[in-house]
Structure 1
Amino acid sequence: MTTGTDSTHSAKDHQDPGMIPVFRMWETPVDLAREGAVLFRDLLKKDVLARKTASVVLSGGNSPRGLFSEIGHLLSVGCEGWVGNVEWFEGDERMVPPTHIRSNFRMMKETLFNPLAISPERIHRILGEAPVASEEALRYAHEIMQVLGAPGPHLPVLDYVFLGIGPDGHTASLFPGTFPELEHHQLVVSSSATKEREARVSMGYHLLAHARHLIFLVMGEDKRPILEDILLRMKPSPVQELLLLRAEIGESATFWVDRAALSNDLERVVKMMY
Protein backbone atom coordinates (compact mmCIF):
# COMPACT_ATOMS: atom_id res chain seq x y z
CA MET A 1 0.00 0.00 0.00
CA THR A 2 1.55 3.26 -1.09
CA THR A 3 1.67 6.11 1.38
CA GLY A 4 -0.97 8.71 0.70
CA THR A 5 -2.70 6.84 -2.10
CA ASP A 6 -6.12 5.30 -2.44
CA SER A 7 -6.73 1.77 -1.29
CA THR A 8 -9.90 -0.23 -0.91
CA HIS A 9 -11.00 -3.28 0.98
CA SER A 10 -14.06 -5.31 1.69
CA ALA A 11 -14.47 -7.37 4.83
CA LYS A 12 -16.75 -9.75 2.94
CA ASP A 13 -16.51 -10.56 -0.76
CA HIS A 14 -20.28 -10.45 -1.21
CA GLN A 15 -20.62 -7.05 0.40
CA ASP A 16 -22.30 -4.26 -1.54
CA PRO A 17 -19.68 -2.20 -3.45
CA GLY A 18 -21.01 0.90 -1.76
CA MET A 19 -19.74 -0.50 1.52
CA ILE A 20 -16.14 -0.77 0.32
CA PRO A 21 -14.26 2.10 1.96
CA VAL A 22 -11.55 4.05 0.22
CA PHE A 23 -8.33 4.20 2.23
CA ARG A 24 -5.65 6.82 2.25
CA MET A 25 -2.81 5.81 4.52
CA TRP A 26 0.18 7.82 5.69
CA GLU A 27 3.11 6.73 7.82
CA THR A 28 2.59 9.26 10.61
CA PRO A 29 -0.03 11.78 11.78
CA VAL A 30 2.34 14.56 10.68
CA ASP A 31 2.45 13.14 7.14
CA LEU A 32 -1.34 12.83 7.13
CA ALA A 33 -1.79 16.41 8.28
CA ARG A 34 0.66 17.92 5.78
CA GLU A 35 -0.25 15.89 2.71
CA GLY A 36 -3.93 15.67 3.60
CA ALA A 37 -4.09 19.46 3.85
CA VAL A 38 -2.69 19.83 0.33
CA LEU A 39 -5.09 17.20 -1.00
CA PHE A 40 -8.07 18.87 0.65
CA ARG A 41 -6.99 22.35 -0.49
CA ASP A 42 -6.85 21.20 -4.10
CA LEU A 43 -10.25 19.45 -3.98
CA LEU A 44 -11.92 22.36 -2.20
CA LYS A 45 -10.47 24.95 -4.55
CA LYS A 46 -11.68 23.02 -7.59
CA ASP A 47 -15.21 22.87 -6.17
CA VAL A 48 -15.37 26.54 -5.20
CA LEU A 49 -14.07 27.74 -8.56
CA ALA A 50 -16.54 25.49 -10.38
CA ARG A 51 -19.63 26.14 -8.24
CA LYS A 52 -18.77 29.47 -6.56
CA THR A 53 -19.14 27.94 -3.10
CA ALA A 54 -18.63 24.77 -1.03
CA SER A 55 -19.53 23.56 2.43
CA VAL A 56 -17.23 21.90 4.97
CA VAL A 57 -18.20 20.16 8.21
CA LEU A 58 -15.52 20.03 10.89
CA SER A 59 -15.27 17.58 13.77
CA GLY A 60 -13.93 18.00 17.26
CA GLY A 61 -11.61 15.74 19.23
CA ASN A 62 -7.85 15.27 19.12
CA SER A 63 -7.46 13.55 15.74
CA PRO A 64 -8.32 16.48 13.46
CA ARG A 65 -6.35 19.20 15.25
CA GLY A 66 -3.12 18.63 13.32
CA LEU A 67 -4.89 18.45 9.96
CA PHE A 68 -6.97 21.56 10.63
CA SER A 69 -3.87 23.46 11.73
CA GLU A 70 -2.11 22.53 8.49
CA ILE A 71 -5.14 23.51 6.42
CA GLY A 72 -5.31 26.85 8.22
CA HIS A 73 -1.60 27.48 7.64
CA LEU A 74 -1.67 26.34 4.01
CA LEU A 75 -4.65 28.45 3.02
CA SER A 76 -3.48 31.54 4.91
CA VAL A 77 0.02 31.45 3.41
CA GLY A 78 -1.43 31.05 -0.06
CA CYS A 79 -3.71 34.07 0.46
CA GLU A 80 -6.47 32.14 -1.24
CA GLY A 81 -9.26 34.62 -1.97
CA TRP A 82 -11.71 31.87 -2.92
CA VAL A 83 -11.68 30.61 0.69
CA GLY A 84 -14.06 33.44 1.54
CA ASN A 85 -16.79 31.60 -0.38
CA VAL A 86 -16.65 28.45 1.78
CA GLU A 87 -19.37 27.76 4.36
CA TRP A 88 -17.94 26.17 7.52
CA PHE A 89 -20.12 24.06 9.82
CA GLU A 90 -19.67 22.36 13.16
CA GLY A 91 -20.58 18.69 13.00
CA ASP A 92 -21.31 18.43 16.70
CA GLU A 93 -20.75 20.27 19.97
CA ARG A 94 -20.85 19.79 23.70
CA MET A 95 -23.25 22.11 25.49
CA VAL A 96 -20.49 24.32 26.85
CA PRO A 97 -19.55 27.95 26.08
CA PRO A 98 -17.31 28.52 23.01
CA THR A 99 -14.40 29.52 25.25
CA HIS A 100 -14.57 26.28 27.27
CA ILE A 101 -11.55 23.97 27.13
CA ARG A 102 -13.78 21.13 25.85
CA SER A 103 -15.54 23.21 23.19
CA ASN A 104 -15.12 21.86 19.67
CA PHE A 105 -15.65 25.35 18.33
CA ARG A 106 -12.74 26.67 20.36
CA MET A 107 -10.39 24.19 18.63
CA MET A 108 -11.78 25.03 15.18
CA LYS A 109 -11.40 28.74 15.84
CA GLU A 110 -7.79 28.37 17.01
CA THR A 111 -6.69 26.13 14.15
CA LEU A 112 -8.71 27.43 11.20
CA PHE A 113 -11.03 30.37 11.63
CA ASN A 114 -8.56 32.78 13.23
CA PRO A 115 -5.61 32.01 10.90
CA LEU A 116 -7.86 32.40 7.87
CA ALA A 117 -9.76 35.41 9.22
CA ILE A 118 -13.00 33.73 8.16
CA SER A 119 -15.94 36.10 8.00
CA PRO A 120 -18.42 35.36 10.84
CA GLU A 121 -21.32 34.93 8.43
CA ARG A 122 -19.48 31.97 6.85
CA ILE A 123 -19.10 30.18 10.20
CA HIS A 124 -22.06 28.17 11.37
CA ARG A 125 -21.64 26.97 14.91
CA ILE A 126 -23.77 25.09 17.37
CA LEU A 127 -24.47 27.39 20.30
CA GLY A 128 -23.05 25.32 23.12
CA GLU A 129 -24.06 28.01 25.59
CA ALA A 130 -27.75 27.56 24.72
CA PRO A 131 -29.80 26.47 27.76
CA VAL A 132 -31.69 23.59 26.09
CA ALA A 133 -29.94 21.15 23.74
CA SER A 134 -33.10 20.02 21.95
CA GLU A 135 -34.08 23.60 21.15
CA GLU A 136 -30.59 24.36 19.88
CA ALA A 137 -30.80 21.30 17.61
CA LEU A 138 -33.93 22.74 16.00
CA ARG A 139 -32.33 26.16 15.61
CA TYR A 140 -29.20 24.71 14.01
CA ALA A 141 -31.24 22.56 11.61
CA HIS A 142 -33.06 25.70 10.49
CA GLU A 143 -29.76 27.51 9.93
CA ILE A 144 -28.43 24.62 7.83
CA MET A 145 -31.55 24.71 5.68
CA GLN A 146 -31.27 28.48 5.28
CA VAL A 147 -27.66 28.29 4.15
CA LEU A 148 -27.75 25.18 1.95
CA GLY A 149 -31.39 25.00 0.96
CA ALA A 150 -33.11 21.77 -0.03
CA PRO A 151 -35.61 21.64 -2.87
CA GLY A 152 -38.78 19.73 -2.11
CA PRO A 153 -38.40 16.71 0.17
CA HIS A 154 -34.65 16.35 -0.37
CA LEU A 155 -31.98 16.76 2.28
CA PRO A 156 -29.43 19.56 2.10
CA VAL A 157 -26.21 18.17 0.64
CA LEU A 158 -22.93 18.98 2.36
CA ASP A 159 -19.73 18.83 0.33
CA TYR A 160 -17.04 17.71 2.78
CA VAL A 161 -17.60 16.09 6.17
CA PHE A 162 -14.68 15.28 8.45
CA LEU A 163 -15.45 12.87 11.30
CA GLY A 164 -13.42 11.14 13.98
CA ILE A 165 -14.10 7.74 15.51
CA GLY A 166 -14.23 7.17 19.26
CA PRO A 167 -12.96 3.95 20.87
CA ASP A 168 -16.58 2.85 21.36
CA GLY A 169 -17.46 3.44 17.70
CA HIS A 170 -19.17 6.78 18.18
CA THR A 171 -18.72 9.52 15.63
CA ALA A 172 -19.73 13.18 15.83
CA SER A 173 -22.04 12.98 18.88
CA LEU A 174 -23.82 9.85 17.68
CA PHE A 175 -23.25 7.19 20.33
CA PRO A 176 -23.82 3.45 20.60
CA GLY A 177 -27.02 2.62 22.44
CA THR A 178 -29.03 5.42 20.86
CA PHE A 179 -31.78 4.75 18.35
CA PRO A 180 -30.65 5.76 14.86
CA GLU A 181 -33.87 4.54 13.27
CA LEU A 182 -35.64 7.31 15.18
CA GLU A 183 -32.98 9.87 14.25
CA HIS A 184 -32.34 9.14 10.58
CA HIS A 185 -34.58 11.85 9.24
CA GLN A 186 -33.70 14.50 11.78
CA LEU A 187 -31.16 16.91 10.34
CA VAL A 188 -29.78 17.63 13.80
CA VAL A 189 -30.18 15.59 16.97
CA SER A 190 -29.54 16.25 20.65
CA SER A 191 -28.57 14.05 23.57
CA SER A 192 -29.03 14.61 27.28
CA ALA A 193 -26.18 14.81 29.75
CA THR A 194 -25.02 11.60 31.45
CA LYS A 195 -22.46 10.83 34.14
CA GLU A 196 -19.88 10.30 31.38
CA ARG A 197 -20.55 13.27 29.12
CA GLU A 198 -22.20 16.64 28.67
CA ALA A 199 -25.40 17.17 26.74
CA ARG A 200 -24.62 17.44 23.04
CA VAL A 201 -25.98 18.53 19.68
CA SER A 202 -24.95 16.74 16.50
CA MET A 203 -25.73 16.58 12.81
CA GLY A 204 -27.88 13.49 12.25
CA TYR A 205 -27.24 10.26 10.37
CA HIS A 206 -28.87 11.09 7.04
CA LEU A 207 -27.39 14.57 6.79
CA LEU A 208 -23.88 13.22 7.37
CA ALA A 209 -24.31 10.13 5.21
CA HIS A 210 -25.51 12.08 2.17
CA ALA A 211 -22.46 14.35 2.00
CA ARG A 212 -20.54 14.34 -1.26
CA HIS A 213 -17.35 13.41 0.60
CA LEU A 214 -17.44 11.63 3.99
CA ILE A 215 -13.96 11.37 5.49
CA PHE A 216 -13.11 9.56 8.72
CA LEU A 217 -9.85 10.64 10.39
CA VAL A 218 -8.36 7.73 12.33
CA MET A 219 -4.92 7.90 13.94
CA GLY A 220 -3.00 6.06 16.62
CA GLU A 221 -2.68 2.54 18.02
CA ASP A 222 -5.60 3.09 20.38
CA LYS A 223 -7.92 3.16 17.34
CA ARG A 224 -6.86 -0.25 16.05
CA PRO A 225 -9.43 -2.33 17.99
CA ILE A 226 -12.47 -0.27 17.02
CA LEU A 227 -11.38 0.08 13.40
CA GLU A 228 -10.99 -3.68 13.17
CA ASP A 229 -14.36 -4.19 14.89
CA ILE A 230 -16.09 -1.92 12.40
CA LEU A 231 -14.39 -2.94 9.16
CA LEU A 232 -13.56 -6.60 9.72
CA ARG A 233 -16.06 -7.88 12.26
CA MET A 234 -18.86 -5.54 11.12
CA LYS A 235 -19.67 -4.62 14.71
CA PRO A 236 -22.82 -2.45 14.94
CA SER A 237 -21.95 1.15 15.75
CA PRO A 238 -22.84 4.65 14.59
CA VAL A 239 -19.93 4.46 12.13
CA GLN A 240 -21.27 1.20 10.73
CA GLU A 241 -24.70 2.82 10.44
CA LEU A 242 -23.26 5.63 8.35
CA LEU A 243 -21.49 3.11 6.11
CA LEU A 244 -24.78 1.29 5.58
CA LEU A 245 -26.55 4.51 4.70
CA ARG A 246 -23.76 5.35 2.25
CA ALA A 247 -24.23 1.95 0.65
CA GLU A 248 -27.93 2.64 0.17
CA ILE A 249 -27.10 5.64 -2.00
CA GLY A 250 -24.27 3.81 -3.77
CA GLU A 251 -21.45 5.76 -2.16
CA SER A 252 -18.46 4.79 -0.07
CA ALA A 253 -16.73 6.60 2.77
CA THR A 254 -13.05 7.50 2.86
CA PHE A 255 -10.74 6.66 5.75
CA TRP A 256 -7.65 8.80 6.25
CA VAL A 257 -5.43 6.79 8.58
CA ASP A 258 -1.88 6.60 9.81
CA ARG A 259 -0.08 3.27 9.82
CA ALA A 260 -0.38 2.93 13.60
CA ALA A 261 -4.19 2.80 13.35
CA LEU A 262 -4.14 -0.31 11.15
CA SER A 263 -3.84 -3.70 12.81
CA ASN A 264 -1.81 -6.34 10.97
CA ASP A 265 -5.00 -8.15 9.95
CA LEU A 266 -6.67 -5.03 8.59
CA GLU A 267 -3.53 -3.91 6.77
CA ARG A 268 -3.25 -7.33 5.10
CA VAL A 269 -6.85 -7.10 3.90
CA VAL A 270 -6.29 -3.61 2.56
CA LYS A 271 -3.16 -4.68 0.68
CA MET A 272 -4.93 -7.72 -0.79
CA MET A 273 -7.74 -5.59 -2.13
CA TYR A 274 -5.55 -2.83 -3.56
Structure 2
Amino acid sequence: MSPTPEIYTFPSTDAISSALDHFLTHESAKAIAHRGKFTISLSGGSLPKVLGAEIKANKYIDWSKWHVFFADERCVPLDHEDSNYLLAKENLLDHVPIPKDQVYTIDPKLVKDPEAAAKAYQKVLAAVFGSETDIPSLDVNLLGLGPDGHCCSLFPGHPLLGVTDRWVAAIHDSPKPPKERITLTFPVVNEARINLFVANGEGKAEVLHKVLDKKEDLPSGRVTGKERLIWFLDASAAKHVTSKAQTYKL
Protein backbone atom coordinates (compact mmCIF):
# COMPACT_ATOMS: atom_id res chain seq x y z
CA MET A 1 0.00 0.00 0.00
CA SER A 2 1.32 3.44 -0.92
CA PRO A 3 1.92 5.83 1.96
CA THR A 4 -0.51 8.70 2.42
CA PRO A 5 1.16 11.95 1.34
CA GLU A 6 2.19 14.18 4.24
CA ILE A 7 2.03 17.85 3.25
CA TYR A 8 3.84 20.42 5.38
CA THR A 9 3.72 24.14 4.69
CA PHE A 10 6.25 26.70 5.85
CA PRO A 11 6.24 30.50 5.89
CA SER A 12 9.54 30.74 4.05
CA THR A 13 12.35 28.85 2.35
CA ASP A 14 14.51 29.48 5.43
CA ALA A 15 11.93 27.64 7.52
CA ILE A 16 12.14 24.68 5.12
CA SER A 17 15.93 24.67 5.55
CA SER A 18 15.50 24.44 9.33
CA ALA A 19 13.00 21.62 8.97
CA LEU A 20 15.30 19.69 6.61
CA ASP A 21 18.13 20.06 9.12
CA HIS A 22 15.93 18.67 11.89
CA PHE A 23 14.42 15.92 9.75
CA LEU A 24 17.69 14.61 8.32
CA THR A 25 19.43 14.74 11.70
CA HIS A 26 16.74 12.42 13.03
CA GLU A 27 16.49 10.13 9.99
CA SER A 28 20.23 9.73 9.53
CA ALA A 29 20.70 8.85 13.19
CA LYS A 30 17.93 6.27 12.96
CA ALA A 31 19.35 4.70 9.79
CA ILE A 32 22.88 4.59 11.19
CA ALA A 33 21.62 2.92 14.38
CA HIS A 34 19.73 0.27 12.41
CA ARG A 35 21.91 -0.27 9.33
CA GLY A 36 25.26 1.34 10.04
CA LYS A 37 24.94 3.96 7.29
CA PHE A 38 22.61 6.58 5.87
CA THR A 39 21.89 6.55 2.14
CA ILE A 40 20.44 9.62 0.48
CA SER A 41 19.96 10.84 -3.07
CA LEU A 42 19.90 14.49 -4.05
CA SER A 43 18.24 16.29 -6.94
CA GLY A 44 19.43 19.48 -8.59
CA GLY A 45 17.60 22.74 -9.12
CA SER A 46 17.18 24.90 -6.04
CA LEU A 47 17.22 21.96 -3.64
CA PRO A 48 20.96 21.96 -2.77
CA LYS A 49 20.76 25.62 -1.73
CA VAL A 50 17.70 25.01 0.44
CA LEU A 51 19.32 21.94 2.00
CA GLY A 52 22.73 23.45 2.57
CA ALA A 53 21.55 26.72 4.09
CA GLU A 54 21.37 25.32 7.61
CA ILE A 55 22.41 21.67 7.73
CA LYS A 56 26.01 22.36 6.72
CA ALA A 57 26.60 23.85 10.19
CA ASN A 58 25.16 20.79 11.96
CA LYS A 59 27.61 19.33 14.50
CA TYR A 60 25.39 16.45 15.59
CA ILE A 61 25.20 14.44 12.36
CA ASP A 62 27.63 11.56 11.89
CA TRP A 63 28.68 12.61 8.40
CA SER A 64 31.16 9.73 8.18
CA LYS A 65 28.25 7.32 7.74
CA TRP A 66 26.51 9.26 4.95
CA HIS A 67 26.44 7.83 1.42
CA VAL A 68 25.31 10.40 -1.13
CA PHE A 69 23.83 9.56 -4.53
CA PHE A 70 22.22 11.71 -7.20
CA ALA A 71 18.64 11.18 -8.31
CA ASP A 72 19.70 12.38 -11.73
CA GLU A 73 22.68 13.99 -13.33
CA ARG A 74 23.43 15.91 -16.48
CA CYS A 75 26.03 14.35 -18.78
CA VAL A 76 28.55 17.14 -18.31
CA PRO A 77 31.91 17.36 -16.51
CA LEU A 78 31.68 17.56 -12.74
CA ASP A 79 32.88 21.17 -12.74
CA HIS A 80 30.38 22.28 -15.40
CA GLU A 81 27.79 24.88 -14.40
CA ASP A 82 24.98 22.44 -15.31
CA SER A 83 26.28 19.70 -13.00
CA ASN A 84 23.98 18.70 -10.15
CA TYR A 85 27.05 17.47 -8.30
CA LEU A 86 28.67 20.90 -8.53
CA LEU A 87 25.59 22.52 -6.97
CA ALA A 88 25.65 20.00 -4.14
CA LYS A 89 29.40 20.43 -3.71
CA GLU A 90 29.20 24.20 -3.43
CA ASN A 91 26.18 24.27 -1.14
CA LEU A 92 26.79 21.24 1.07
CA LEU A 93 29.59 18.79 0.31
CA ASP A 94 32.43 21.33 0.60
CA HIS A 95 31.21 22.19 4.11
CA VAL A 96 30.72 18.78 5.76
CA PRO A 97 33.13 15.86 6.33
CA ILE A 98 31.42 13.19 4.22
CA PRO A 99 34.20 10.90 2.93
CA LYS A 100 34.80 11.66 -0.74
CA ASP A 101 34.54 7.98 -1.67
CA GLN A 102 31.00 7.97 -0.23
CA VAL A 103 29.78 10.62 -2.66
CA TYR A 104 28.77 8.79 -5.83
CA THR A 105 28.93 10.97 -8.91
CA ILE A 106 28.44 10.15 -12.55
CA ASP A 107 31.70 8.75 -13.96
CA PRO A 108 33.27 11.86 -15.53
CA LYS A 109 35.00 9.67 -18.13
CA LEU A 110 31.60 8.53 -19.44
CA VAL A 111 29.70 11.81 -19.78
CA LYS A 112 29.83 11.59 -23.57
CA ASP A 113 28.27 8.12 -23.47
CA PRO A 114 25.03 8.35 -21.42
CA GLU A 115 24.17 4.65 -21.85
CA ALA A 116 27.54 3.59 -20.46
CA ALA A 117 27.27 6.19 -17.69
CA ALA A 118 23.87 4.85 -16.65
CA LYS A 119 25.12 1.24 -16.57
CA ALA A 120 28.15 2.28 -14.54
CA TYR A 121 25.99 4.15 -12.02
CA GLN A 122 23.75 1.11 -11.62
CA LYS A 123 26.87 -0.93 -10.81
CA VAL A 124 27.78 1.63 -8.14
CA LEU A 125 24.34 1.23 -6.55
CA ALA A 126 24.68 -2.55 -6.65
CA ALA A 127 28.10 -2.40 -5.00
CA VAL A 128 27.03 -0.08 -2.18
CA PHE A 129 23.79 -1.97 -1.47
CA GLY A 130 25.38 -5.38 -1.91
CA SER A 131 23.12 -6.89 -4.56
CA GLU A 132 22.82 -6.85 -8.33
CA THR A 133 19.25 -8.18 -8.20
CA ASP A 134 17.49 -6.62 -5.20
CA ILE A 135 16.32 -3.09 -5.92
CA PRO A 136 18.26 -0.74 -3.63
CA SER A 137 16.26 0.97 -0.94
CA LEU A 138 17.61 4.43 -0.23
CA ASP A 139 16.83 5.85 3.18
CA VAL A 140 15.78 9.21 1.74
CA ASN A 141 15.29 10.58 -1.75
CA LEU A 142 15.33 14.37 -1.66
CA LEU A 143 13.38 15.42 -4.72
CA GLY A 144 12.31 18.57 -6.47
CA LEU A 145 9.67 18.99 -9.14
CA GLY A 146 9.61 21.12 -12.25
CA PRO A 147 6.76 23.36 -13.39
CA ASP A 148 5.81 20.59 -15.83
CA GLY A 149 5.60 18.03 -13.00
CA HIS A 150 8.84 16.20 -13.77
CA CYS A 151 11.05 14.79 -11.05
CA CYS A 152 14.58 13.42 -11.39
CA SER A 153 14.92 13.43 -15.19
CA LEU A 154 11.57 11.69 -15.64
CA PHE A 155 9.50 13.96 -17.84
CA PRO A 156 5.77 13.91 -18.69
CA GLY A 157 4.94 11.55 -21.54
CA HIS A 158 8.49 10.24 -21.86
CA PRO A 159 9.10 6.50 -22.46
CA LEU A 160 11.39 6.36 -19.41
CA LEU A 161 8.32 6.63 -17.19
CA GLY A 162 7.57 3.01 -18.02
CA VAL A 163 11.07 1.58 -17.53
CA THR A 164 11.13 -1.29 -15.04
CA ASP A 165 14.17 -3.31 -16.12
CA ARG A 166 16.86 -0.79 -15.11
CA TRP A 167 17.63 1.10 -11.94
CA VAL A 168 19.36 3.89 -13.83
CA ALA A 169 18.51 4.98 -17.36
CA ALA A 170 19.99 7.33 -19.92
CA ILE A 171 17.97 10.09 -21.51
CA HIS A 172 19.07 11.63 -24.81
CA ASP A 173 16.16 13.97 -25.49
CA SER A 174 15.45 15.84 -22.28
CA PRO A 175 12.96 18.64 -23.01
CA LYS A 176 14.97 20.74 -20.59
CA PRO A 177 18.63 21.28 -21.52
CA PRO A 178 21.10 19.69 -21.43
CA LYS A 179 19.46 16.92 -23.44
CA GLU A 180 21.69 14.06 -22.28
CA ARG A 181 21.36 12.88 -18.69
CA ILE A 182 21.10 9.83 -16.48
CA THR A 183 18.31 9.30 -13.98
CA LEU A 184 17.06 6.90 -11.36
CA THR A 185 13.97 5.08 -12.62
CA PHE A 186 10.69 4.61 -10.78
CA PRO A 187 11.54 1.13 -9.43
CA VAL A 188 14.39 2.70 -7.42
CA VAL A 189 12.63 5.98 -6.60
CA ASN A 190 9.62 4.17 -5.18
CA GLU A 191 11.70 1.63 -3.27
CA ALA A 192 13.10 4.41 -1.08
CA ARG A 193 12.01 4.32 2.53
CA ILE A 194 11.18 8.01 2.39
CA ASN A 195 10.59 10.26 -0.60
CA LEU A 196 10.67 13.91 0.38
CA PHE A 197 9.79 16.63 -2.11
CA VAL A 198 10.93 20.21 -1.54
CA ALA A 199 9.11 22.92 -3.52
CA ASN A 200 9.50 26.64 -3.06
CA GLY A 201 8.41 29.67 -5.00
CA GLU A 202 5.26 30.76 -6.79
CA GLY A 203 6.43 29.07 -9.99
CA LYS A 204 5.56 25.69 -8.46
CA ALA A 205 2.09 26.66 -7.26
CA GLU A 206 0.05 25.54 -10.26
CA VAL A 207 1.78 22.20 -10.75
CA LEU A 208 1.45 21.39 -7.05
CA HIS A 209 -2.30 21.93 -7.33
CA LYS A 210 -2.34 19.53 -10.28
CA VAL A 211 -0.28 16.87 -8.47
CA LEU A 212 -1.63 17.09 -4.92
CA ASP A 213 -5.25 18.12 -5.45
CA LYS A 214 -6.29 17.13 -8.96
CA LYS A 215 -4.15 13.96 -8.94
CA GLU A 216 -3.11 14.48 -12.55
CA ASP A 217 -0.88 11.77 -13.99
CA LEU A 218 2.41 13.64 -13.84
CA PRO A 219 5.77 12.06 -12.97
CA SER A 220 5.90 13.65 -9.50
CA GLY A 221 2.46 12.24 -8.81
CA ARG A 222 3.70 8.71 -9.50
CA VAL A 223 6.19 8.86 -6.62
CA THR A 224 5.28 6.73 -3.61
CA GLY A 225 7.81 5.12 -1.25
CA LYS A 226 8.03 2.20 1.16
CA GLU A 227 7.30 4.12 4.36
CA ARG A 228 6.63 7.83 3.84
CA LEU A 229 5.90 10.35 1.10
CA ILE A 230 6.48 13.91 2.31
CA TRP A 231 6.05 17.35 0.77
CA PHE A 232 7.80 20.44 2.19
CA LEU A 233 6.25 23.56 0.62
CA ASP A 234 6.79 27.22 1.28
CA ALA A 235 3.81 29.59 1.37
CA SER A 236 4.24 30.74 -2.23
CA ALA A 237 4.41 27.22 -3.62
CA ALA A 238 1.42 26.11 -1.53
CA LYS A 239 -0.86 29.03 -2.45
CA HIS A 240 -3.18 26.90 -4.65
CA VAL A 241 -2.98 23.64 -2.70
CA THR A 242 -6.29 22.66 -1.15
CA SER A 243 -5.31 19.24 0.22
CA LYS A 244 -4.93 19.12 3.98
CA ALA A 245 -1.56 20.45 5.12
CA GLN A 246 0.17 20.36 8.48
CA THR A 247 2.69 22.54 10.30
CA TYR A 248 6.01 20.77 10.75
CA LYS A 249 7.05 20.65 14.40
CA LEU A 250 10.73 20.90 15.22
TM-score (norm 1): 0.82
CA distance in 2, matches of 1:94, 1:187: 17
Letter of the 2:188 counterpart:
L
- What is the distance in 2 between the residues matched to 1:204 and 1:195? 17
Q: How many Å separate the matches in 2 of 1:25 and 1:159? A: 23
- 1:163 is displaced (CA, Å) by 0.5
| 1:66-85 → structure 2 map (5 Å cutoff) | 66-74=50-58, 78=59, 80=61, 82-85=62-65
1:114 Cα shift? Answer: 1.2
- Find the aligned partners of 1:207 and 1:132 in 2 and give their Cα distance: 22
In structure 2, the partner of 1:213 is 194
Amino acid at match of 1:108: A
2:16 match: 32
Residue identity in the other structure for 1:49? A
Shift of 1:70: 1.8
Equivalent positions of 1:29-108 (< 5 A) are: 29-74=13-58, 78=59, 80=61, 82-108=62-88
Q: Who is 2:233 aligned against?
A: 257
Map residues 172-183 of structure 1 onto 2, 5 A cutoff. Answer: 172-180=152-160, 182-183=162-163
Q: What is residue 191 of structure 1 aligned with on the other side?
A: 171
For structure 2, the residue ranges without an aligned partner over 5 or more in a row are none
Instruction: Tell me the SS of whatever aligns to 2:126.
Output: helix
RMSD: 2.1
For structure 1, the residue ranges without an aligned partner over 5 or more in a row are 1-16
Say which SS state the counterpart of residue 93 (structure 2) adopts.
helix
Deviations 1:223-248 (A, max 9, x none): 111011112222111112224xx4xx
Q: Percent identity?
A: 24
**Residues 11-57 of structure 1: per-residue CA shift (max 9 Å, x gap):** xxxxxx73631112211001110232122112212221332111011
One-letter code of the match for 1:258? D
Structure 2 match to 1:134 = 115
Query: Relative to structure 2, which stretch is displaced further, 183-192 or 111-120?
Result: 111-120
Matched, 1:146 2:127: yes
Larger radius of gyration: 1
Cα deviation digits, residues 159-196 of structure 1 (max 9, x gap): 11000000001001111121246412310011104574
Aligned partners of 1:242 and 1:108: how far apart in 2? 23
Aligned-partner Cα distance in 2 for 1:139–1:30: 36
2:143 aligned partner: 163
Aligned AA (1:234): K
CA distance in 1, matches of 2:137, 2:2: 18
Question: Would you say how many aligned residue pairs link Structure 1 and Structure 2?
Answer: 244
Counterpart of 1:139, as a letter, is A
Determine the C-alpha separation between the residues in 1 that align with 2:174 and 2:30.
43
In structure 1, distance between residues paired with 2:146 and 2:67:
26
CA, structure 1 residues 146+262, in 2 after alignment: closer, same or farther (shift >3 Å)? same
Give 1:79 deviation, angstroms.
6.3
Q: Which amino acid aligns with 2:79?
A: T
Distance 1:33 1:164 in 2: 14
Secondary structure at the counterpart of residue 2 of structure 2: helix
Contact 1:92 1:126 in 2 (8 A): no
TM-score scaled by structure 2?
A: 0.89
Structure number with the higher helix fraction is: 1
Corresponding residue number in structure 2 for 1:10: none
